[in-house]
Amino acid sequence: MPIYMDYHILDEVTIEQVKQAHLIDKKTQDKYNVKYHQFWVNEKAGTVFCLIEGPNADACEQVHREAHGDVSCNIIEVEAGLMDLFMGKTHSVAHGVVYNRDGSIDSGFRYLLVIDIVGKTNLLNHDHIQQFSLLGIQRKYTYSEIQLFEGHEIKNLSDDSIIAVFKDVNKALECAVKLQNGFATRIEQGEWDVEFRMGLGDGQPVTMKEGFFEEAVDFSKHLSLISDDGTITISNNVQKLSDFNKICGANEKIRIVSERQRDFAENFFKHTQIHLADSNFSIISLSAELGVSRTQLYRKTMALTGRSPVSFIRDIKMHKARNLIKRESLNICEIALEVGYNNPSYFSKCFLDRFGIVPSKIL
């Protein structure tokens, strides 16, 4: 049967309350051919995530409704493989509640590291052009470091950035810093000719979105896009929950996004993505949709990214274009239109300015 996870947010919740609710669920579940397996509880945040097996989402919900009336905020279907990658398999379960190996309660929150690697090219030869697209050595190095810090790679279907999930915030941050130092050393020594940027965010398995950890993955990808070359951008929660000063020291290439900046960034990306293919969508239009003046938009975007709104949107467009080109399913004219350029020649010029290669050399 399918596997589901639901999401509850409560004014107040304790482990004992969850255990009691689980016992009541078990008395009702057979009636609907449902099995409630385990729960991830965050007493401080008031969140509970339930792992359920059942014929459909409605049947799973009906058990809660009849047993104790605590209906979830949302319920989604989850692939078993993704469940193991994100939630792990080394935990213990007692009375339905999930515990970490050290005996602490597993809240279900995870830390997502996104690494975006871009090869540089000067068009000297075929091998140099291939370096732009393949990056096998760099990716292999990244995977090995992720494993070293007990992270798990998550398959990324939307672009070619690397995504890893961690249960431990310190290991996630240590991995990011180790990768940053490793890349920087190899670039400085002339061994690698690449750009790299990272985003390290946090999040919960289910929100009001439809995908498993969808909000957390999207946010972490946005953090990587905010980053400059060689920089790690982290969420405010990652800084607060980790041994930040001990791990990062005086590292000047780590940027922290505050909660207020996070809200602005998410709205910025939301409206930019909606209108990405619209060549008529302007900074004036974006300002109006965000409810800020052009001056405020400029100031907020500069504080967040170090780039003007025009420059940052162009970077978002070029990032999307690079990934569309690597898929090899569209021609240059079609890709240009997808990212809001009516003139393919101008699109090619912008792509050349950003990546040092024209799209026609890759396709």
Q: What is the pLDDT along the chain (363 residues), one digit of tens a residue?
A: 899 999 999 888 889 988 888 888 989 999 999 999 999 999 999 999 999 999 999 999 999 999 888 888 999 999 988 899 899 887 888 888 999 988 999 999 999 999 999 987 655 544 555 555 557 899 999 999 999 999 999 988 788 899 999 999 999 999 999 999 999 999 999 999 899 999 999 999 999 999 999 999 999 999 999 999 999 999 999 999 999 999 999 888 999 999 999 999 999 999 999 999 999 999 999 999 999 999 999 999 999 999 999 999 999 999 999 989 888 889 999 999 999 999 999 999 999 999 888 888 877
* Whole-number Å distance between alpha carbons of 341 and 233: 29
In CATH, what class is 260-363? Answer: mainly alpha
Provide the pLDDT for residue 130: 54
- Is the pTM above the cut of 0.85? yes
Place of tokens 């900074």: 283
As a whole number of angstroms, the longest Cα–Cα distance in the chain is 70
Query: Is residue 59 exposed (0-12), middle (13-18) or buried (19+ Cβ within 10 Å)?
Result: middle
Residue 277's CB: how many other CB atoms inside 10 A?
15
Provide the pLDDT for residue 6: 95
Pairing of strands 232-235, 254-257: parallel
**DSSP secondary structure, 8-73, as one string:** EE-SS--HHHHHHHHHHHHHHHGGGT-EEEEEEEETTTTEEEEEEE-SSHHHHHHHHHHHT----S
Architecture of the structural domain at 3-99: 2-Layer Sandwich (3.30)
Q: Do domains 109-257 and 260-363 have the same CATH topology?
A: no
DSSP state of 294: H
Residue 122's CB: how many other CB atoms inside 10 A?
10
Provide the pLDDT for residue 123: 54
Provide the pLDDT for residue 362: 78
Residue 155's CB: how many other CB atoms inside 10 A?
8
Region for residue 91 given its phi and psi (left: phi exceeds 0; alpha: psi -120 to 50; beta: otherwise): beta
* Whole-number Å distance between alpha carbons of 310 and 315: 9
| CATH code reported for the domain at 109-257 | 3.30.70.1230
Place of tokens 């482990």: 15
Provide the pLDDT for residue 53: 95
DSSP state of 361: G
What are the boundaries of each domain within the chain?
Answer: 3-99, 109-257, 260-363
